[in-house]
Structure 1
Amino acid sequence: MSHFLGEFECKLDAKGRLMLPAGLRKQMPEAEKDGLVVNRGFEKHLVVYTRKEWDKIMEDLSKLNQYEKKTREFIRYFTRGATELTLDSAGRVLFPKSLLEYAGVGSDVVLASQFNKIEVWAKDAYDLQMDDEPENFANLAEEVMGGAGRRFDD
């Protein structure tokens, strides 16, 4: 599985279109043919997946027990607003207005790579999130990653 790399500051045009940065487009050559999917993030941002990654997530969700109320609720909220995106001939994608409103996205946007997905943030919200870095990041790293015998190269 490949992971996306990079953080990109971009601008949306007046119609809500975003020109995908060339450095990001090179990392997902299948996007032009297969398209992308955008949905709501867990915080007030959007998340973009390649179609292949979205299909994997849908496969995982389809295996959950839908007789359980919490499962049904999670699936509803997770998939709410999910929309296919296609690249136009200029390499732009058009975001749905409802999703832009949900995330509070105006014209200034940050695309932040996160493994198999790309987070789409309003620039001011992203800056605020990153400015809230823990005073001691090393302690957080130890809490999250410091399990016995756990190594980054495993």
Structure 2
Amino acid sequence: MSHFLGEFDCKLDAKGRMMVPSSLKKQLPEAEREGLVINRGFEKHLVIYTKKEWDTITEELSKLNAYEKKSREFIRYFTRGATDLTLDSANRILLPKVLMDYAGITTEVVLSCVLNKIEVWAKEAYDNQLDSEPENFANLAEEVMGNAGRRGAHD
């Protein structure tokens, strides 16, 4: 599986459409044929997945025990608002109004590629989130990636 790379500042037009930057579009060769899915993120942002990645995620969700309340709630909240996106002839996507409202998106957004997904942030929220970077990022890296020796060290 390939991962996305890059960070892109974008503007929405009056109808809520966003031009997909050409260097990002090159990373999405199947997007025109298969489409994309946008959904709420865990923080106040949106997430774009390829249709193939979304299908993988929903397959995992389908394996959860629907008789357990926490599983049902998670599935319900995770999939709430999920919407198919298609690129128009001008390589634009229309962001759903309800999702834009959830993420506080008005006109300026940042697309941040994070492994297998593209996060869509209101520019101000993204900047604020980056401003709250942990004081000692090295300590966080050790805590999260400390067992990386088993996977192969990365310096």
Query: Normalising by the residue count of structure 1, what TM-score does the alignment of the two structures yield?
Result: 0.97
- Separation (CA, whole Å) in 2 of partners of 1:31 and 1:88: 11
Structure 2 match to 1:68: 68
Mark the runs of 5 or more structure 2 residues left unpaired by the alignment: none
Structure 2 match to 1:37: 37
Structure 2 match to 1:58: 58
Mark the runs of 5 or more structure 1 residues left unpaired by the alignment: none
Structure 2 match to 1:77: 77
User: Which segment drifts farther, 65-74 or 141-150?
Assistant: 141-150
How many residue pairs get matched? Answer: 153
State the superposition RMSD in angstroms. Answer: 1.0
- Separation (CA, whole Å) in 2 of partners of 1:90 and 1:33: 15
- Separation (CA, whole Å) in 2 of partners of 1:76 and 1:135: 35
For 1:19-67, what per-residue CA distance to the aligned partner results, in whole angstroms no more than 9, with x for missing partners? 0000100001100111100000000000000000000001110111111
Structure 1 match to 2:131: 131
For 1:79-125, what per-residue CA distance to the aligned partner results, in whole angstroms no more than 9, with x for missing partners? 00000000000000001100000000010000000111000000000
Report deviation, 1:148: 6.6
The percent of aligned pairs where both chains have the same amino acid is 74
- Separation (CA, whole Å) in 1 of partners of 2:116 and 2:25: 14
| 3-state secondary structure, aligned to 1:149 | helix
Structure 2 match to 1:120: 120
